[in-house]
Structure formats: structure tokens, C-alpha cells
Amino acid sequence: MKRLLILGGTGDASELATKASAIPEVEVITSLAGRTRQPQTPVGTVRVGGFGGEAGLTDYLRNAQIDVVIDATHPFAAQISFHAAAAAATCKIPYLMLVRPAWERCSDDQWIEVDSVEVAASVLPKLASRVFLTVGRQQLAPFASLKDIWFLMRLIDPPAPDILIPQGVILCSRGPFALEDERKLLIEHQIDTIVSKNSGGDATKAKIIAARELGVKVVMVKRPATPIGEQVSDADNAIEWLLNKIYRFLIY
Ligand code: NAP
């Protein structure tokens, strides 16, 4: 048996865990950061919580005798990806990133692309009065000082009671979201601007399409850099890569 560590927290990671668990020679362990209260539990063994930086992850890979790492974390989870690439290199084990393609701007889109959530907050006063904020509960604080803007904040879990949040309404729900529902939400709350990370994928894309149809602006946060290394764009290609590695392990 070869031990595969999947760095998870995404739908892609869960799909990969299901598909990799069907390979008889592979034992699957998925690691979750532990951010959401009721995460969707992937197939196979699951461990939860940080490793303690690059050094902690290196120790984990050695102690748990991991043979292969596939990093299927969210495109905005940059820190864990750099730690994982470095730890896998130290342990001399194969490392792959599963990075879903970013959303592409269409001619009808009114996107304002920015480099960070903080920059997104700084540009809002010039262009928005009612904002649909979809950057997650960890990154609400930069918007809290914008007193002339009303926010509809969509989150998986409610924010911690002790953090500063912008004025407006919190909507707790988890994707995938349907286009018809996203249209209704934008109209009902008279949204003029959406703030979104360029997460890519289908689960949360409907808001981008609804914005295009309704002429709503989108402040789109660009993705952070990823480590240098092998990348694929979906679970099927990750499985192909994995089978290739497993085949080599079994031969040599
Ligand atoms: P991050 O900034 O890259 O990581 C911060 C720290 O969280 C890491 O250094 C690591 O702690 C721990 N960590 C992150 N992912 C982990 C994993 N899969 N297993 C164990 N520890 C993990 O990550 P983030 O942006 O906070 O995201 C945390 C998790 O939420 C990720 O797994 C990601 O897939 C998921 N997620 C993130 C977003 C987003 O917008 N950022 C959206 C949806 C889902 P140690 O240094 O102690 O090892």
C-alpha cells in the first residue's frame, strides 16, 4: 500500500479522495485545516488541524510515512501550499497541486481586478453602496470601517463574536448556488457590487453570471502565486498522475 496525503478543504479534494480510495494500492488520508464547523467529510481517513508550519508538516510526512502528497487546497490557501511544496521536497516525495482554472472575464463583465482583499475594501467607497461580500468569514475585518456601504455577507459559518464585521446582513449558506437563486438575491437586496475571490470552479460561479446579466460590478480579487511544481486542473488528471507514480513505485 502507498500512503497518499491529500491537503483538502475543497470539493475538488473530496472528489479526489473518493476516486483515489478506489485504487486498491492506495491508502488515502485527507487533511483539513479545521476552519468550518461541520465540514463535508471526505472518504478515507481524515485528520484535522494545522501541522505547525513547514517543519511540522515535514515531521508529519516522515512520521506518518506518506509516499505522495496532492495539494487540493483552495487557490487562495497559499501558505499551506508553499509549506507542502517545501516539505515534500525535503522528504523527497512526489508533490502535485490540483488547481482549478480561474474564471475568465467576458466582454459583458464589469470587473475591477485587485491584488488582495484589502485593496478590494479600499476601492469600494468610489464605486459601491450595496455590496454582496463573498470573501469568507476570515476576511471581513478590512470592510468593517466602510460606514457608508451596506453589506450582504455570505458565509458558511457565522463569524466569531469578537471580530469586527461590516454593517449589513449575514447569510449563512454553503454552495453550490443556482443561477436563478443568485439572480433573486442580487435583485432582492439591490446589490450594485459583488466582492469575490477568483476561486474558479462551478460551485460559486453563478453569482458571476448573474452579475453579468444584471450589470452588477464585480471587484475580483486575483489569485496569489503558487509554488513552482507540477499542476493539474481537476481530480481525473490528478488520478492519472497518481497512477503513474504508483506504477513507478511498484516497478522499482
Ligand atoms: P492558508 O492561509 O494557506 O494556511 C494557513 C494555515 O492553516 C497553514 O499554515 C496550516 O497551518 C493550516 N492549514 C491550511 N490548510 C490546511 C490543511 N488542508 N490541513 C491542515 N492544515 C491546514 O489557508 P487558509 O486560506 O486559511 O485556508 C484554510 C483551509 O480552508 C484550506 O485547507 C483551504 O483549502 C480551505 N479553504 C480556503 C479558502 C480561502 O479562501 N482561503 C476558501 C475555501 C476553503 P500550519 O502552518 O499550522 O500547518
The model's pLDDT over 167-183, given as tens digits with 9 standing for 90+, comes to: 999 999 999 999 999 99
In the chain, residues under CATH classification 3.40.50.720 are 2-100+225-251, 111-221
DSSP one-letter string for 140-199: -GGGTT-TT-EEEEEESSPPPTTS---SEEEEE--S---HHHHHHHHHHTT--EEEEE--
3-class SS of residue 62: helix
User: Predicted confidence band at 252 (pLDDT cuts at 50, 70, 90)?
Assistant: low
Return the closest-CA partner of residue 29 out of 59, 51, 2: 2
Please state the pTM of the whole predicted model: 0.95
- Domain 111-221 class? alpha beta
User: Predicted confidence band at 37 (pLDDT cuts at 50, 70, 90)?
Assistant: confident
pLDDT higher than threshold 60 for residue 27: yes
Task: Report the greatest alpha carbon distance in the chain.
Answer: 65
DSSP one-letter string for 27-54: EEEEEE---SSSPPPPSSEEEES--SHH
- Ramachandran quadrant class, 52 (left: phi over 0; alpha: psi -120 to 50; beta: rest): left
- Which ligand 1 atom is at minimum distance from the Cα of 7? 18
What's the 33 CA to ligand 1 centre distance in angstroms? 5
The Cα-based distances of 192 to 108, 111, 129, 170, 186 in angstroms read: 15, 12, 7, 17, 8
Q: Is 204 in the pocket of ligand 1 (CB under 6 A)?
A: no
Q: Is 31 in the pocket of ligand 1 (CB under 6 A)?
A: yes
Strand-pairing partners, residue 228, are: none
- Closest residue by Cα to atom 1, ligand 1, is 77
Q: Is 35 in the pocket of ligand 1 (CB under 6 A)?
A: yes
- Angle between helical axes of 11-21 and 235-251 (0-180°, round to 10): 40
pLDDT higher than threshold 70 for residue 251: no
- Domain 2-100+225-251 class? alpha beta
- Closest residue by Cα to atom 24, ligand 1, is 77
Query: Which triple of cell numbers denotes residue 26?
Result: 492506495
What's the 175 CA to ligand 1 centre distance in angstroms? 19
Our CA dihedral for 182, 188, 192, 198, rounded to 10 degrees, sits at: -20
